[in-house]
Amino acid sequence: MQNVAKYKYFFAVFDFVLYLGTVAIMVVISPPNCLGVNKFLGLSSVSSLWLLVSLMPAFYFIFYFNNLYKLNKVLNRSAHTIDVIKSLMYFLPIVVLFNYFVLHLSVSCLIFSGIFYTIIFLLLFYLFRIELLKRFYLLLKKNGFKRNVLIVGNGGSGELLAAKLDFENSFGINVVGFIDDKIDVGEEIIGGKKVLGKISEISSIVDNEKINEIIIADDTSEYDELLNTVDICKNTKAHVKFTSNLFDIIPQKVFTERYAEIPIVNVSPTSNNLLMLKIKSIIDRIASFLGLLILSPFLTIISVLVKLSSPGPVFYQQERIGKDGKSFMFYKFRTMKMIENDNDTERKEMMINFMKGVENNGSNKKVTNPKRITKIGKFLRKTSLDELPQLLNVLKGEMSLVGPRPCLPYEYENLENWQKRRFAVLPGCTGMWQVTGRSQVTFQDSVVLDLYYINNLSPWLDLQLIIKTVPVMLLGKGGD
């Protein structure tokens, strides 16, 4: 876990102590059989306390979901206050349900615990999490949380970042110098900060200068060049982040950290990727099996409606490209009318234009052929219910619940090299761009969002995207 900043551990431990203390107060002060000594279950106050502590994973996830472990959120009192209140309100129903089903508290106790929880948690978390945590961090930023930063690139964004961090730095960041292949070593860039070497020398510079974090500030390179630079930097021991106009879609769609109001995108893996992918695969298989089992009556109803909508099969099967460029048979509910020669040349041409950023009839958004979509198909596509059969692909190990979208063979052939990076992991039923934009983003933006997901892949992020997928499906937001 070397790529997790020290202050995040500090925030997590701080929250654990604060949560433990708050719950302990609730258990000790509450009336008999209300969070305290529970005669019905034979629980002591200590037993009740540790049962409530078992809710910590849910607590951490809700705080993570609301970006409460990002530094710029913690340092902004108003945003911090709003999201702490929001998080505690999300957590309240979990506490109440836990007390009812696990501790078997009476209705009067549930009302008491709900009111008591709200008052005590809000009061203590405001005093300690919002007021005290920020002061602790600012006190320790020059010592325990001080970070030596190396900036790759000296263009406008690199110089601006260095200048802002020099004059508006509340993050404990010390800009050590620059890396640049186009400028001589030793040349001063701004404020006494000099070029320390070339990109090929970055590993030794990171070691010699005790660099904690590399920020790639590049507004001149192409995608391939920028991503190659990211790969080189990721081979060092430092955290790797970047800021670039090429990836503007990320801070537009995702809450990112900001240094002096400049959006910074993290590209350092936060844990062991091989282990995480194995865990992810196991969870995918179990969840897809349960999903197919639970949804089977609903899937049957949709199957009948599809069959009645127009002549043809219920399921649409199509060759798609997945992980490492390998093909597999992809399943969906059929949403379009069948034609004798299912070789939609016009759509292929429009899709290739879309991929290259060329407008189709005044639009460069996702391509569809509305003439062939059935009435039930329009609803299924709008709500993404047509994609439920992909749970079969997940069960077979060809797809994941969350990941980049698979593509058609002709689309794969027309991808640029940097865009093929999205096939480094299994394709998913839902993913970053489906949740944040769906058909309302350009193809290039969708690839960028997929690459962001791959670089930040974690169970927390997967769960967050799955939760966000539900309202997107229900509201049909951005569907075609």
In this structure, what DSSP letter does residue 405 have? P
pLDDT recorded at residue 366: 56
In this structure, what DSSP letter does residue 317 have? E
pLDDT recorded at residue 31: 73
pLDDT recorded at residue 367: 56
| Contact between 103 and 38 (Cβ < 8 Å) | yes
Length of the chain: 480
pLDDT recorded at residue 438: 60
- The tens digit of pLDDT for each residue in 101-115 reads 887 777 887 887 788
pLDDT bucket at 2, cuts 50 / 70 / 90 = very low
Q: What is the mean pLDDT of residues 156-161?
A: 83
Is the predicted pLDDT of residue 39 greater than 50, yes or no?
no
| Contact between 334 and 312 (Cβ < 8 Å) | yes
55 vs 40, more confident: 55
The CA distance from 195 to 152, in Å, is 9
The CA distance from 115 to 95, in Å, is 12
- The tens digit of pLDDT for each residue in 387-403 reads 999 999 999 999 999 99
CB atoms within 10 A of CB 86: 14
pLDDT recorded at residue 45: 62
| Contact between 244 and 157 (Cβ < 8 Å) | yes
The answer to which of 96-105, 131-140, 188-197 has the lowest mean pLDDT is: 96-105
Q: What is the mean pLDDT of residues 243-270?
A: 85
Instruction: Using a cut of 0.85, tell me whether the model's pTM lies above it.
Output: no
321 vs 436, more confident: 321
SS3 content of the chain, % helix, strand, coil (to 5): 55, 15, 30
Long-range own/partner contacts, residues 19-23 (CB < 8 A, 24 or more apart): 19/53, 19/56, 19/59, 20/53, 21/124, 22/120, 22/121, 22/124, 22/125, 23/49, 23/52, 23/53
Is the predicted pLDDT of residue 238 greater than 60, yes or no?
yes
pLDDT bucket at 37, cuts 50 / 70 / 90 = very low
CB atoms within 10 A of CB 407: 22
Domain ranges of the chain: 6-140, 147-266, 273-475
The answer to which of 231-245, 258-272, 275-289, 315-329 has the lowest mean pLDDT is: 258-272
Residue in the structure block whose two tokens are 């009061």:
123
Residue 426 φ/ψ, nearest 5 degrees = -60, 140
Beta strands, E only, 100-197: 147-152, 173-179, 188-190, 193-197
The CA distance from 239 to 103, in Å, is 44
pLDDT bucket at 298, cuts 50 / 70 / 90 = very high
Got the DSSP string for 266-284? E-S--S-HHHHHHHHHHHH
pLDDT recorded at residue 271: 55
pLDDT recorded at residue 155: 66
Q: Report the half-sphere exposure of 240 (CA within 13 A, side-chain side).
A: 24
- The tens digit of pLDDT for each residue in 186-223 reads 998 888 899 999 999 999 999 999 999 999 998 778 89
The answer to which of 122-126, 266-270, 318-322 has the lowest mean pLDDT is: 266-270
Q: What percent of the chain has pLDDT over 70?
A: 88
CB atoms within 10 A of CB 64: 18
Residue among 294, 401, 381 nearest 334 (CA): 381
Query: Cβ contacts of residue 232 below 8 Å, gap of 6+?
Result: 199, 200, 202
pLDDT recorded at residue 124: 92
Residue 151 φ/ψ, nearest 5 degrees = -100, 125
CATH topology of domain 147-266: Rossmann fold (3.40.50)
Q: What is the mean pLDDT of residues 279-302?
A: 95
pLDDT recorded at residue 166: 80
| Contact between 168 and 258 (Cβ < 8 Å) | no
pLDDT recorded at residue 157: 79
